[in-house]
Structure 1
Amino acid sequence: MQIHTLNKAAIINELQFGVGINHAVQDGRRADFALILSMFSEDVRDNTPVEHIDRVEITEESLRQRFELPDPQELRSDQSAYAISAKQAELFHSSGLPSAKLSHYLKPEVLTYLPEDTHGFPEDVYHSLSAHQHRKLGETEPKKLMPVDLYNHLIQAQRSYQIHAQI
């Protein structure tokens, strides 16, 4: 009965014993001192005051807005990339390298110009694919599975064929 009472006491540190631990040390009562120490919580989070810190989610987009950075340089080309590149080439021919560099820093052009409509493959690889593989790459919806009642449809089709063959 006393053991259950001690377990429910939830003793965390020496302040809850008052002077009991001090008297055990001064009087040399090792058994009492060991008993008191064994009742302390072994979880350090019980002894240390812990504050809950709200974590702010930091994303690349929030950092770009905070430091007023432009959009990152695109990796692949699209239709708008050709107009940007043509404008920078025009600025290079009319005003020189500093003007083209400034234009690039304000609106960077893409790193690579890849062929379009090749589903991410290099052009020579894409043209080496068969017509069936081209068709599979072009499909946007996944193939439907076989219907659950396929067996019934097959039997019905066979019976209707037999009826038409006998007539």
Structure 2
Amino acid sequence: MQIEYPLVNELQLGNRLNDAVEHHRRGEFALLLSMLSNDARDMAQFQLDNDLSNDEKLYKQLDIPQPQALVCDLSQSVAINNADAFYGNGLSQFHLHQALKPEAVVTRGKYDEDLQITLSNCDLLTKLKHEQATPAITDLNSIHFLDQLATQRKISETIGNQLSAVA
């Protein structure tokens, strides 16, 4: 009998070890344990960094900070600003903050500068259409036209009463 892949650690067995213990199957339990690797480095608790790339493993192993971000997108994350450390405590404190949490070289918004200028000159509905987040219009259609007129009349009367009380 050939097995498709060798057993390395107990995570590959799933619940089979538990079932063997629960149902008092000593032979199956011994067989499963004998099929596991003898090397302690193959056990599950030592396989924590398998999903990391080689660069990330080296950063973690040598305790090196991550490289400085080149571009910071303000719409997705909070920008790091070390200017307060410089103005408050001087250049040495700024260098310390920059070494611990480096600022991005360029900070910008979600879109390029030309598109941001164009969108800033557009109305809100056009901006929402560009982001494909148009609001649902069903709320306006659910209110009857006469109810809308009555609500607007009440609002105008309230504003008129407030203005006459001020004058």
| TM-score, normalised with respect to structure 1 | 0.36
| TM-score, normalised with respect to structure 2 | 0.36
Q: Which one has the largest radius of gyration?
A: 1
